[in-house]
Amino acid sequence: MEKSKHEKIMDIASKRGFFYPSAEIYGSKSGFWTYGSLGTKIKHKWENLWRKYFLSLDSNFYEIDDVNILPKKVFESSGHLKNFNDPLTECEKCHFRFKADQLIEKELKISAASLNENDLTKMIRENKLKCSNCKGNLSDVRFFNMMFDVKVGAVGEDLMYLRPESAQSPYLSFKREFEATRRKLPLGLAVIGKAFRNEISPRQGFFRLREFTQAELQIFFDPDKLNKHEYFNSIKGYKLILHIKNKTSKISCDDVVQKLKLPKFYVYYLSKVQRFYLEILKINENLFRFRELGEKERAFYNKIHFDMELDLESLGGFKEVGGVHFRGSYDLSKHQEGSGSKLEVTIEENGKSKKVLPNVLELSFGVDRNIWALLDIFYKEEKERTLFNFPKIITPLDAAIFPLVNKDGLLELSEQLFINLRNEGFNLFFDSNSSIGRRYRRIDEIGCLIGVTLDYQTKVDSTVTIRDGLSMKQIRVKISDLKNVLNKLLKDEKIEKIGKII
């Protein structure tokens, strides 16, 4: 039986060092994964692209870095201890636990995210759903809090929690950062860091994790400016891909404001998020959409909520990889109430001072989900090879250096070239084992699409062969020109424009 796309990607990921189960020699636990050498490179590239793009959207956007463990009082105030729940149903025979809404969605092909525990139980009973492992009966649905608790102190006298999202850190830091950054709004505080959720039964491999990385930007702004943005006119004709009421349409930002009544501040950042996916990550627009979440489906603190979704064949369709959330003043008001600390700030407007409790717009991205999405979208099978045709901006390695054979001085020349180019800042791979054809196939499979081969002609005229992995076209260039040529290829310049195809 032929393997599924999901299984094929997982095989390459574990074999080539993208990621693999954590502590697997002791029997790994689902939901915990280790990034290998290649996975770490592509993850860092994604994160740095995210930083460069989103922190450049406003001169008053900054990155902070906080702890992963926070006091219980934080999550009492935020509402997580009361509301951060998932629906649980358990097999009465083998005692395997399922996330009830996911079980229903998988078996019945319908959306169940907005259903309460009684409705979920009713769906299970009416459709006679059974345990997928042993066909046993399923229990009534109950809600299960996903927070991990931690006992702190010599005798564990303090109960604290691993953060289930990175968002609380900017809220707790807001007042200090507002003072430190010259008391201006909007103020953006970004975090790229770990979050922890005790998922009931993570069953989608690398896509649903118990420990994962988020990239989030919390934008604090004057609530009177919700329907304003100074640069809105620059994007008003830009068309957003929106999925509303089971229909996907391309709608200009101006029409989204006028006809759908979404605020300009929110719509401006929708456009920026979409451009990140389509223009920076080079995702085909047919694979991207914003899906609107209704009141029962969205998180308890969100007033407006669109998820970024990508069409992932390996997971059976469009899947959430992030969201744009208008959270209002919920977070700061709750922390102000819970801590007893005033989080209102004074800002200057038209020469006058006014006190405001800022609203928050959140741009939230699941880093690990986005990494899986890249592997899915850019996976390609051809007659004689499998490859990831990543955009050059995200490929884990810039190029590979190969000696044609390991004799007659070619190995030593190749090693020296590898060292020289690495010292110039290139992220390289060196391989001298097996035939040159097999080495090309290995780098194709990991998404390294530039191969540099030194052969006997190199010793005569100091030229090398450069192979473009996507087209498999080759040119010869002088070693003295190699740095410049590699930079052009990494900027997606066509190889045939750089030199004569051989």
Q: In the prediction, which pLDDT does 101 show?
A: 86
Q: What CA–CA distance (Å, rounded) separates 414 from 461?
A: 15
Q: In the prediction, which pLDDT does 248 show?
A: 97
Summarize pLDDT for 344-363 with one digit per residue, the tens. 999 988 888 999 999 999 99
Residue 25: inside a domain: no
Give exposure, 13-25, as e/b (b: 16+ Cβ within 10 Å): beebbbbbbeeee
- My answer on whether 409 and 450 are in the same domain is yes
What is the rounded average pLDDT of the residues 87-112? 84
Render 296-317 in DSSP notation, one character per residue.
Answer: TTS-TT-SEEEEEEEEEGGGTE
- My answer on whether 333 and 465 are in the same domain is no
Q: Quickly state the pLDDT bin for 107 (edges 50, 70, 90).
A: confident
Residue 225: inside a domain: yes
Q: In the prediction, which pLDDT does 204 show?
A: 65
312 in Cβ contact with 324 (< 8 Å): no
- Domain end, chosen from 315, 349, 377, is at 377
- My answer on whether 355 and 391 are in the same domain is no
Tokens matching residue 44: 């860092």
Q: In the prediction, which pLDDT does 84 show?
A: 82
- My answer on whether 276 and 328 are in the same domain is yes
Residue 1: inside a domain: no
- My answer on whether 248 and 314 are in the same domain is yes
- My answer on whether 258 and 403 are in the same domain is no
| % of residues, the chain, pLDDT over 70 | 99
CATH of the domain at 99: 3.30.40.230
Summarize pLDDT for 429-473 with one digit per residue, the tens. 999 999 999 999 999 999 999 999 999 999 999 999 999 999 999
- My answer on whether 300 and 168 are in the same domain is yes
Q: Among residues 310, 304, 302, 263, which one has the least CA distance to residue 285?
A: 310
Q: Which long-range contacts (CB under 8 A, 24 or more apart) does 407-413 make?
A: 408/456, 408/459, 409/459, 410/454, 410/455, 410/456, 410/458, 410/459, 413/454, 413/458, 413/459
- My answer on whether 174 and 270 are in the same domain is yes
Q: In the prediction, which pLDDT does 103 show?
A: 85
Q: Nearest 5 degrees, angle CA 241-CA 60-CA 242?
A: 10
Residue 425: inside a domain: yes
Asked whether residue 109 carries a pLDDT value surpassing 90, the answer given is: no
**Cβ neighbour number for residue 347 with a 10 Å cutoff:** 15
Stretch (H or E) spanning 330: helix 330-339
477 in Cβ contact with 489 (< 8 Å): no
- My answer on whether 184 and 289 are in the same domain is yes
Q: In the prediction, which pLDDT does 448 show?
A: 95
Q: In the prediction, which pLDDT does 116 show?
A: 84
Q: Which of 160-169, 201-210, 306-315, 384-393 has the lowest mean pLDDT?
A: 201-210
SS3 189: strand
Asked whether residue 497 carries a pLDDT value surpassing 80, the answer given is: yes
Render 124-184 in DSSP notation, one character per residue.
Answer: HHHTT---TTT-PPBPPPEEEE-PPEEEESTT--EEEEE-SSSTHHHHHHHHHHHHHTTS-
Q: Quickly state the pLDDT bin for 91 (edges 50, 70, 90).
A: confident
Tokens matching residue 444: 């194709």
Q: What CA–CA distance (Å, rounded) separates 205 from 226?
A: 39
Q: What CA–CA distance (Å, rounded) separates 290 from 307?
A: 5
Distance in Å from the first CA to the final CA of the chain = 40
Residue 46: inside a domain: yes
- My answer on whether 182 and 294 are in the same domain is yes
Q: Quickly state the pLDDT bin for 203 (edges 50, 70, 90).
A: low
CATH of the domain at 373: 3.30.930.10
Render 202-268 in DSSP notation, one character per residue.
Answer: --STTSS-SEEEEEEEEEEE-GGGTT--TTGGGTTTPEEEEEETTEEEEEEHHHHHHHH---HHHHH
Tokens matching residue 413: 């020349």
Phi/psi-derived region of residue 434, left when phi > 0, alpha when psi is between -120 and 50, beta in every other case: left
What is the rounded average pLDDT of the residues 192-214? 87
189 in Cβ contact with 217 (< 8 Å): yes
Residue 452: inside a domain: yes
SS3 335: helix
Residue 82: inside a domain: no
**Structural domain containing residue 98:** 87-145
Summarize pLDDT for 392-438 with one digit per residue, the tens. 999 999 999 999 999 999 999 999 999 999 999 999 999 999 999 99
Q: What CA–CA distance (Å, rounded) separates 83 from 3?
A: 40
Q: Among residues 331, 300, 219, which one has the least CA distance to residue 265?
A: 219
Q: Quickly state the pLDDT bin for 332 (edges 50, 70, 90).
A: very high
- Domain end, chosen from 335, 352, 377, is at 377
Phi/psi-derived region of residue 413, left when phi > 0, alpha when psi is between -120 and 50, beta in every other case: alpha
Residue 254: inside a domain: yes
**Alpha-carbon distances, residue 138 vs 96, 100, 129, 204, 268 (angstroms):** 9, 10, 8, 21, 46
Q: Among residues 485, 444, 435, which one has the least CA distance to residue 464?
A: 485
What is the rounded average pLDDT of the residues 207-223? 95
pTM over 0.85: yes
Query: Which one is predicted more confidently, 296 or 291?
Result: 291
Q: In the prediction, which pLDDT does 144 show?
A: 79
CATH of the domain at 479: 3.40.50.800
What is the rounded average pLDDT of the residues 5-20? 95
Q: Which residues pair with 303 in a beta bridge?
A: none
Judge if the upstream peptide bond of residue 164 is cis by omega within 30 degrees of 0: no
The total number of structural domains that make up the chain: 3
375 in Cβ contact with 386 (< 8 Å): no
- My answer on whether 178 and 306 are in the same domain is yes
- My answer on whether 284 and 358 are in the same domain is yes
198 in Cβ contact with 238 (< 8 Å): no
Average pLDDT, the chain: 93
Q: Is the dihedral of CA 480, 483, 484, 488 positive or negative?
A: positive
Strand ranges for 392-469 from DSSP E = 399-403, 428-430, 450-454, 463-468
Q: Quickly state the pLDDT bin for 154 (edges 50, 70, 90).
A: confident
Asked whether residue 299 carries a pLDDT value surpassing 80, the answer given is: no
